[in-house]
Structure 1
Amino acid sequence: MQLDLRHTTFVVLDLETTGGAPDGGGITEIGAVKVRGGEELGSFGTLVNPGVPIPPFITVLTGITTAMTIEAPPIEAVLPSLLEFLSGAVFVAHNAPYDTGFLKAACAAHGYRWPNPRVVDTVALARRVLLRDEVPNNKLGTLAAYFRVGDQPNHRAMDDARATVGVLHALIARLGGHKVHTLGDTIEFVKAVAPVQRAKKHLAENLPHAPGVYLFRAADDRPLYVGTSNDIATRVRSYFTAAERRARIKEMLGAAVRVDAVECAHALEAQVRELRLIAVHAPPYNRRSKHPERVQWLKLTAEAFPRLSVVRQLTADGASYLGPFAGRATAQAAVDAIHEALPLRQCTPRLSARKASPACALAELGKCPAPCQLAISVEEYDAQAAAPLRAAFDGDPDAVVDPLLARIRKLSDTQRYEDAAAVRDRLAAFLRAAVRMQRLSALTSIEELVAARRTERNAWEIAIVRRGRLAAAATAEPGVHPRRTLDVLRPTAETVLPAFGPTPAATPEETERILDWLERPETRLVEATSGWASPARGAARWKMLLQAGRG
């Protein structure tokens, strides 16, 4: 919970120095006042021996002479007491970077750790709160006179610190008109926040501190942006701070009129709901997962002499499939890898097993077994090309991997490194798809799987997964047996009917989110209608090759 300004402890500090930068000057006087809720809690003030003569112009400005500081303690003797005085409080100064710069340099020089407190700079705060026609500048004397504070600055540390206290309190009073009431909001308010973020900040009010999905909506109720978080309120609030710098998000905020929140049982359900909402609504400001229909698959056709094609839809026509691929270019790279490894025909006509057809150029060049000319039987073609490829899709990919690795070695031995890299990239495109599909298929083949994960607060996150789709989710709170929660949850779970393909009931992304959650060490499998297993000699054996290729 954010700390209200009325209950925040501030230490307002001012330094007098010999001038110049922290590494070239010294501190001559420290004045600090601790305040909370408008009341003074304590003060800390002392002259400091800077170890060097005080320049005459500094003496004229402050009235502090070298003789006045000779008997004063050096900064290394003052720092322990000052740091204790600062402990646990918010540091405030007028032009705070100047004062913190000197104190940090002193701590570093004498072996003290700077506590790195939260800082409020009254200069920066005044620039945000006051209009240009109210004060000619933001000097401490100008602000103290404008707000009619009791202590006027005179270039002595304690008097200037007390004047800064008065200015701070006057500025905090102004913050209420900007709906800024907490320390966190104050620090963000001081930063460079765009006008649209400031104007729309009220959209982040009254949202739940819970996991779920949030939707920024336009005036016509159309979703502009969908996101997810373990804490909806905190995440949405971040869109209205200086930390949010994305131009497209600021443009989105300009069109947004409200934020809707959908609370979820836990983070997995929130991630899945986000994916589904983006797929349905295609919000214009979401870049991820907007076009699930662009997923590509490789299809090994079901005919006498099968061939490869790149398709967007899976059909139960006896064909074999590999995928999904994120785009056509990656799918084509995998096609090229397969054609280089196996004697699969590359022509597109449907060929007869009894009647010859005109030969293509590849057949005439001897780079195809020429099924068009019936130079190879259906059985031989299947044994040499189609059957090994189907096995590579579903299980052992060595029929594709081994020839391409041999090709890479040969090219490398002849110092054709660029050609070898191109073959490696095509092989990687094929292998990544095979690893992905076999991983997905292992889960989507299970009619129902129940898993639970213990949280840090000893609750249990429960998920019912049917054919790779999240069918239901719940959280068993501490003290509630998870079995009772599961018994209540199961009758309400979504019915998921069997369908065709490696991802029959959900998008590949949804199933992969579920897999990531299931594979976490703290997740426990509770029940499953069948075994969860991957091929012993599957494509996952070659993950090290993929990692080496990325390096």
Structure 2
Amino acid sequence: MVEQQVPVQGTLDDLGTPLSQATFVVVDLETTGSRADGAGITEIGAVKVRGGEVVGEFATLVNPGVAIPPFITLLTGITQAMVAPAPRIESVLPAFLEFAQLGGGTVLVAHNAPFDIGFLKSACAHHGFDWPAVHVVDTVPLARRLVTRDEVPNHKLGTLAGYFGVPDQPTHRALDDARATVGVLHHLFERLGSFGIDTVEELRGFRSAPTAAQRGKRRLADGVPEAPGVYVFTDAKGDTLYVGKSRNLRRRVRSYFTAGETRGRIREMIALVEGVTPIVCATELEAEVRELRMIGERKPPYNRRSRNPERANWLKLTSEAYPRLSIVRTVRDDDAPYIGPFRSARDAELAREALHQTFRLRQCTHRFSPARPISACVLAQLGRCGAPCDGRESPEEYAAHAHAAHTAMTLDASPVVAAVGAHIAGLAAELRYEEAAAHRDRLAAFLTAAARSQRLTALARLPQLVAARRAGAAWEVHVVRYGRLAGSAVMAPSADPVAFVDALTRTAESVEPGPGPAPRAGAAEMECVLRWLESPGVRLVEAGSPWTCPVNGAEKHRDLTDWGRASR
């Protein structure tokens, strides 16, 4: 006798929770810094959403128990006086957890979730509150999967909100940013439909499912060695698609064919890959440098970073009778001071504005001389230029301004820090925070570029530098000439150090000196070398000449440089 099977109606648990029926709590925090173990929360904002409708909001200032840094006040507008009467985080957490109702199927959402959730978890642990098991959706990787770089230049909250036309734009205040994230989330959900994603469970696995191409090409990693080096993905014609580096080539290449690789652009590339070429290197530094050089030479279509080093922007004080500041792409052998390279033309313009704000340099491009004066522009009337063009300022007087700017770019950044810093302080005292922030960005751009070029210049002046670092029982040894990595090798414990170093320097690449801060190697390569030289355990074996940076250079003001970067 066969027992008849009775059909059973499936439950929502079997089918999954539809996105339209799930409850999402979108949260944003403002804090006094970037590390949860050293900074405090100053504001919490949250929006509860269900079925596309807002069903509740939560917002409160929080007394962080620590001082709010000035740049945080400039960024958010939250002052010490505002948070002084606010409750402490231990009083706020119960109210927030009750509002969010985490652990009951609610989905927690944040833009760059590790930051916000990290602070909340840390606060709960510190004050004895249990952090519930909750599914977290980070809109940053979700946006990277759904919104291409052809549509937006980056996936910052402000960029996405502007692109989607979200009514609530982010303002660096918690509730406003949470509302903006809600708008971005809804637009991302609209795009999920084309991928067949309709439930919370499907959303949870959306980023982890490998493509058919990934599963089918795992065999390409079989012959790759477990060693440091560079790997090159090629297509059916043998053309380079992508260049990368790793301390373990086999493990890194295999990761491209697993669920861990979720970048949409890279998954697209995997569909085209037909071969992998490993290049074993003696050390990790050699691998890093080889990667940069190969990307610059081959310009693989799926590499974004370092593909076009020749397009870098530099700020130059021209070599002419009446020098001026010019943004250029090429460093020439003209004895002119250069700072950079900059991340963008905008950063170069900001640095130029900081120098113009400090020194009365001309901003025109006209050609003139004491014998052939021309009419002065409005900058002379504003007192921002001494008007050498119409003879009001002699060549010697103008040369003093140019010399001061030259010194600030190469030796002593203090005049720029003092001039722009005083302006920032005055604007902040008048509560004109947005204007103060603009001047802060100018100062940060100048200091970052000046410090970078001064560090590069110091390394580029050395005819030869040999350094070593212990790697287990062996030693990594590198030869650097005029800033370029010229030789790399690993010295066995039983080797004669003197003979080994002599052989390595004799066989290292010959390098000639050149002009500018980065004459014989790209700036990115030189910075890789500098990071290695400054890492713990490195010992200088030989230096052909003194290796020094200006005592009053831009590096002295590193705290202001970090302040500017963190605030942008």
Pairwise TM-score range, normalised by the shorter structure: 0.5 to 0.7
- Map of 1:363 onto structure 2: 380
- Map of 1:403 onto structure 2: 419
User: Cα offset for 1:347?
Assistant: 0.6
- Map of 1:230 onto structure 2: 247
CA distance in structure 2 between the partners assigned to 1:399 and 1:524 by the alignment: 35
Q: Does 1:499 align with 2:549?
A: no
1:216-262: CA deviation from partner (whole Å, max 9, x where unpaired): 01111111010000111111111111111112112111111110011
1:417-439: CA deviation from partner (whole Å, max 9, x where unpaired): 11111111101100101111111
CA distance in structure 2 between the partners assigned to 1:222 and 1:523 by the alignment: 38
CA distance in structure 2 between the partners assigned to 1:372 and 1:313 by the alignment: 27
CA distance in structure 2 between the partners assigned to 1:365 and 1:373 by the alignment: 15
CA distance in structure 1 between the partners assigned to 2:496 and 2:478 by the alignment: 15
The percent identity for this pair of structures is: 49
Secondary structure of 1:273's partner? Answer: helix
* 8 Å contact kept, 1:474–1:485: no
Selected match of 2:528 from 501, 513, 517: 513
CA distance in structure 2 between the partners assigned to 1:382 and 1:401 by the alignment: 21
Unaligned runs of 5+ in 2: 1-12, 14-207
User: Cα offset for 1:365?
Assistant: 4.1
1:254-273: CA deviation from partner (whole Å, max 9, x where unpaired): 11111001110100000000
- Map of 2:55 onto structure 1: none
Q: Taking structure 1 as the reference length, what is the TM-score of the superposition? A: 0.64
CA distance in structure 1 between the partners assigned to 2:494 and 2:303 by the alignment: 39
Selected match of 1:417 from 410, 417, 433: 433
Secondary structure of 2:330's partner? Answer: coil
**Structural mapping, 1:365-444, within 5 Å:** 365-383=382-400, 385-444=401-460
CA distance in structure 2 between the partners assigned to 1:535 and 1:367 by the alignment: 28
CA distance in structure 2 between the partners assigned to 1:448 and 1:405 by the alignment: 39
CA distance in structure 1 between the partners assigned to 2:402 and 2:500 by the alignment: 49
Selected match of 1:277 from 290, 294, 305: 294
Selected match of 2:307 from 290, 309, 322: 290
- Map of 2:491 onto structure 1: 476
- Map of 1:249 onto structure 2: 266
Selected match of 1:345 from 350, 362, 365: 362
User: Cα offset for 1:547?
Assistant: 2.6
CA distance in structure 2 between the partners assigned to 1:291 and 1:534 by the alignment: 28
1:467-507: CA deviation from partner (whole Å, max 9, x where unpaired): 00000100012332343332222222111111111110000
Selected match of 2:284 from 261, 267, 270: 267
CA distance in structure 2 between the partners assigned to 1:502 and 1:249 by the alignment: 34
CA distance in structure 1 between the partners assigned to 2:457 and 2:382 by the alignment: 39
* 8 Å contact kept, 1:448–1:465: yes
* 8 Å contact kept, 2:285–2:528: yes
User: Cα offset for 1:192?
Assistant: 3.5
Secondary structure of 1:255's partner? Answer: coil
1:482/1:193 Cα in 2 relative to 1: closer, same or farther (>3 Å)?
A: farther
User: Cα offset for 1:303?
Assistant: 1.6
Residue identity matched to 2:417? V
Secondary structure of 2:262's partner? Answer: coil
- Map of 2:96 onto structure 1: none
Q: Does 1:333 align with 2:350?
A: yes
**Structural mapping, 1:33-112, within 5 Å:** none
Q: Which has the larger radius of gyration?
A: 1
Residue identity matched to 1:506? A
CA distance in structure 2 between the partners assigned to 1:487 and 1:452 by the alignment: 13
- Map of 2:542 onto structure 1: 527
* 8 Å contact kept, 1:298–1:321: yes
Aligned length: 360
* 8 Å contact kept, 1:304–1:351: no
- Map of 1:220 onto structure 2: 237
- Map of 1:467 onto structure 2: 482
Selected match of 2:503 from 483, 488, 492: 488
* 8 Å contact kept, 1:341–1:404: yes
- Map of 1:453 onto structure 2: 469
User: Cα offset for 1:358?
Assistant: 2.1
* 8 Å contact kept, 1:210–1:232: yes
- Map of 1:104 onto structure 2: none
* 8 Å contact kept, 1:342–1:399: no
- Map of 2:321 onto structure 1: 304
Secondary structure of 1:434's partner? Answer: helix
Q: Taking structure 2 as the reference length, what is the TM-score of the superposition? A: 0.62
Selected match of 1:313 from 330, 351, 358: 330
CA distance in structure 1 between the partners assigned to 2:522 and 2:444 by the alignment: 23
* 8 Å contact kept, 1:355–1:374: no
User: Cα offset for 1:382?
Assistant: 1.5
1:306-363: CA deviation from partner (whole Å, max 9, x where unpaired): 1111000011223221211121110001111111111111111122133211222222
- Map of 2:562 onto structure 1: 547
Selected match of 2:215 from 185, 198, 206: 198
CA distance in structure 2 between the partners assigned to 1:366 and 1:535 by the alignment: 31
1:272-316: CA deviation from partner (whole Å, max 9, x where unpaired): 000000000111111111111121111111122111110000112
1:342-393: CA deviation from partner (whole Å, max 9, x where unpaired): 111111112213321122222244432111011111111121x211111111
- Map of 1:207 onto structure 2: 224
* 8 Å contact kept, 1:201–1:240: yes
Residue identity matched to 1:382? A
* 8 Å contact kept, 1:460–1:482: no
* 8 Å contact kept, 2:465–2:542: yes
CA distance in structure 1 between the partners assigned to 2:404 and 2:339 by the alignment: 13
* 8 Å contact kept, 2:337–2:410: no
Q: Which has the higher contact order (CA 8 A, sep 6+)?
A: 2
Give the 4+ runs in structure 1 shifted more than 6 A: none
What is the aligned-residue RMSD (CA, Å)? 1.5
- Map of 1:63 onto structure 2: none
Residue identity matched to 1:354? A
